């Protein structure tokens, strides 16, 4: 099989960031891609005005690319935050204010995957209370996703880079997926398997794939070390994606890596141009 047999999209919140937001969809299209994903792009506004939403929607449509994944509001990304939904007070309020806005924007573009970052542990807050708040908000998110026919994704990050984030193993992420599905009865919560984050946690990636491919709703990749393009580190990403395919995963592979000291358009040499357009 190999890279040519996968469906790739480009994360426009980590690639093409040398360009203004509204220019990134066209840049991805010019590089040969037909699908993109995004973190919530308005880090200071969980519910931006109609003009901002319409401008991004138009940029995506004019570029002729498909939006296949969108994060709910997660605070300052990139930055110190790692989510909002389990953070008591203003941040969880912002997350709740964002749920319908994010779902509505996703629906307007036919996007069927919404990613909810769990949120950091907060000094002085009881972890059990944070987990209860997280489940409450994830249930809201799952129901909103269900209304638009979308999947709710739960992501594991890595402990070295996100020491306050509690989901730093595949099993922890899967545990939350199972709790949300049990609470809602909808079955639309799925695992976001980020191979870079899992490798940073020292996990046995072939074993993770074998155990959890059936509960995986999205995959993201970057090489390790360095979080660069495939081939810049030591992860056998082509083999791992082949294993995922053989295990039954046929969804999107999100390119969520750093381009390095070069324009993003030059960071795709590992992937033949004819393999960039989703078939």
Active-site residue list: 155, 256
CA distance 120 to 87: 7
Question: From residue 198, how far is each of 96, 155, 160 by CA, in Å?
Answer: 28, 10, 11
> What's the rounded Cα separation, in Å, for the pair 42 and 205?
33
Other beta carbons within 10 angstroms of residue 54's beta carbon come to: 12
- CA distance linking residue 18 with residue 264, whole number of Å: 8
**Six token digits for residue 75:** 């605070």
**CA separation for the pair 94, 91 (Å, rounded):** 5
Residue 115, phi then psi, degrees to nearest 5: -100, 130
Sign of torsion over alpha carbons 133, 130, 141, 91: positive
Q: Which residue has the tokens 């899967």?
A: 174
CA distance 35 to 187: 25
Closest CA to 155 of 195, 188, 124, 206: 195
């Amino acid at each position: 099989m190999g890279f040519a047999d996968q469906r790739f999209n480009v994360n426009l919140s980590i690639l093409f960031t040398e360009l203004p937001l509204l220019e990134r969809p066209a840049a991805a299209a010019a590089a040969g891609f037909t699908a993109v994903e995004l973190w919530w792009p308005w880090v200071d506004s969980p519910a931006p005005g109609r003009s901002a939403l319409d401008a991004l929607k138009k940029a995506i449509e004019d570029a002729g690319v498909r939006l296949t994944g969108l994060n709910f509001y997660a605070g300052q990304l990139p930055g110190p935050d790692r989510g909002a939904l389990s953070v008591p007070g203003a941040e969880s309020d912002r997350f709740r204010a964002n749920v319908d806005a994010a779902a509505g924007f996703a629906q307007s573009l036919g996007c069927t995957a919404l990613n909810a970052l769990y949120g950091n542990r907060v000094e002085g807050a009881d972890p059990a209370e944070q987990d209860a708040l997280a489940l409450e908000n994830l249930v809201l998110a799952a129901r909103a996703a269900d209304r638009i026919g979308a999947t709710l994704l739960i992501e594991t990050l890595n402990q070295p880079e996100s020491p306050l984030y509690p989901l730093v193993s595949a099993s922890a992420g899967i545990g939350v997926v199972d709790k949300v599905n049990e609470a809602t009865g909808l079955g639309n919560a799925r695992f976001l398997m980020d191979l870079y984050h899992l490798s940073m946690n020292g996990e046995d990636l072939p074993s993770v794939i074998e155990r959890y491919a059936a509960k995986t709703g999205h995959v993201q990749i970057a090489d390790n070390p360095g979080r660069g393009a495939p081939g810049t580190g030591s992860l056998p990403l082509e083999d791992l994606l082949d294993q995922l395919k053989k295990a039954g995963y046929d969804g999107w592979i999100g390119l969520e890596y750093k381009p390095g000291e070069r324009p993003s358009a030059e960071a795709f040499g590992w992937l033949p141009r004819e393999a960039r357009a989703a078939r």
